Amino acid sequence: MRSLGISGMRVFGDSITAGFNASQPHLAWPALFAEAVDCLPIRNHAIPGTVLQGSQLADGKPRPDNGIGRFEKVLLDAPHRDAILILYGYNDARYTAAPDTMNVRNFSRDYATMLEKLIAAGHAERLAIGSPPYLPDAGFLVGSTGFTSQTRMGFEGYVEVVRKLARRFSLFYAPVYENMKARGDGDLTSADMVHPNDAGHRAIFDAFTNADRS
């Protein structure tokens, strides 16, 4: 990273990237990553409960603090050479209450728009995107209104979108979902069946550490 002139990192996502259910702050995946790269300064721009897309929910309004609506302010606020690590799509994939608007097609559209602007600003060499973390089978039944009833096939459609976008734009791809799935259903999840435990955060860290350019 230092050979690319990188002097810091910015991470972007939802509650998992904010570090939810790691037993200690330093065991959350962004903190693990920062430690692994000689403690480079890190700006954590994750907001719990957010989605990436700006599509309308069942109430006819976009979800507050969605990624497409705020990325320019926090990731393009000024010229910089920070690495950008994005882990979005988990809540998009879980939400099922407005299928005509909040769907995988619009997720792909807004994610691509965000990536195009980041690349146009010169961040392609320092940009890594991760597939949504694995949700165990029991997790499909847990959540607030609208965030239940998804299927495995429907969830994995969002994983495939991120994988294809990484390939389309030749970006570093972190196979977060794939790595966590290989460890077994629920083994990396905390008691709430939604957020990762310490081992889950380490699996996310491992996926980003070993991200390959698609």
In 3-state terms, what secondary structure has residue 182?
helix
- 2: tokens are 């230092």
| Predicted confidence (pLDDT) per residue in 46-60, tens digit | 999 999 999 999 999
Asked if 61 contacts 106 with a C-beta cutoff of 8 angstroms, the reply is no
* Predicted local distance difference test score (pLDDT) of residue 62: 98
Asked if 82 contacts 8 with a C-beta cutoff of 8 angstroms, the reply is yes
How many folded domains does the chain comprise? 1
| Predicted confidence (pLDDT) per residue in 113-160, tens digit | 999 999 999 999 999 999 999 999 999 999 999 999 999 999 999 999
The C-alpha angle with vertex 89 and arms to 87 and 95, in degrees rounded to 5, equals 150
Asked if 161 contacts 104 with a C-beta cutoff of 8 angstroms, the reply is yes
What is the residue-averaged pLDDT of the chain? Answer: 95
Question: Looking at the whole model, is its pTM more than 0.85?
Answer: yes
Which segment of 5-9, 163-167, 199-203 scores lowest on mean pLDDT? 5-9
What is the domain-level CATH number for residue 120? 3.40.50.1110
Which residues span the domain enclosing 47? Answer: 2-213
- 130: tokens are 């991760």
